[in-house]
Amino acid sequence: METLRRLRTEKGLSQARLAARAEVDPSTVNQIERGAREASPATLRKLAAALDVGIADLLEDASPKAHRRSSLEPTFNDLEAERPSVVVDGMVGLLERRHARRLRQADDPNDPHFRDATAAATWIADVQEEANEVIRWILEHGEALAGTWEDLGMMAGVALFAENPVWIGKQRLKAMGEPDELAARRMEKTATAVQEARQELETAVNG
């Protein structure tokens, strides 16, 4: 993430110093700046606070090709007139990248997340938890960003991104046997949570 590197440099902070301020591991800052990993919503909030900027500013693409902001927790107080549609557009892009990454993991026969049944169940639970978080964010903030729920049709569709990788993951899990009890319970719990969130989103969008 070039914007993170730029803002950190402008503030005169090293990666280690920024990590300390944000209370994250220094390797996390390094990986995000290099584009080796996507920042979670919680990490984005911490980094933005440490840099004293809004999350939308942190995720703004400074390249001349596009100016797109993406965030799971935008700052609403200073939204310019055009920013809602830009944030929604960026949100969709972020979800699409996450979806592609999860599909690659689910399809890779050598991915370490599928080394055994417990690891696979944990991965499935993580994907479902991530989907629930995204949908809950849309329910809380989406209408304020897009203006109407009708404008959120694309975002709502992409928010269901977990279905395909989870389905593939569960097929692989069947061939591995039973995960440990803790992982199995968490997988069931997150499946229920994301299903409830989806139902709420469908009701909100369709009326």
Looking at domain 2-58, what is its CATH homologous superfamily? lambda repressor-like DNA-binding domains (1.10.260.40)
Residue 142, pLDDT > 50, answer: yes
Provide the terminal-to-terminal Cα distance of the chain, rounded to the nearest Å.
38
Residue 129, pLDDT > 60, answer: yes
Contact 72, 41 (CB under 8 A): yes
At which residue do the structure tokens 């209408």 appear? 143
Average pLDDT, the chain: 75
Q: 119 burial class (0-12, 13-18, 19+ CB within 10 angstroms)? A: middle
Contact 115, 174 (CB under 8 A): no
Instruction: Using only the alpha carbons of the chain, give its radius of gyration.
Output: 18
pLDDT tens column, 4-36? 888 888 888 888 888 888 888 888 888 888 877
DSSP class of 75: -
pLDDT tens column, 73-125? 443 343 333 445 555 666 666 777 777 888 888 889 899 999 999 999 999 99
pTM above 0.75, yes or no: no
Q: 36 burial class (0-12, 13-18, 19+ CB within 10 angstroms)? A: exposed
Which H or E element spans position 3?
helix 2-10
Instruction: Give the confidence band of 66 by pLDDT, cuts at 50, 70, 90.
Output: very low
Residue with the bigger pLDDT between 108 and 53: it is: 108
Residue 5 phi/psi, 5-degree rounding, is -60, -45
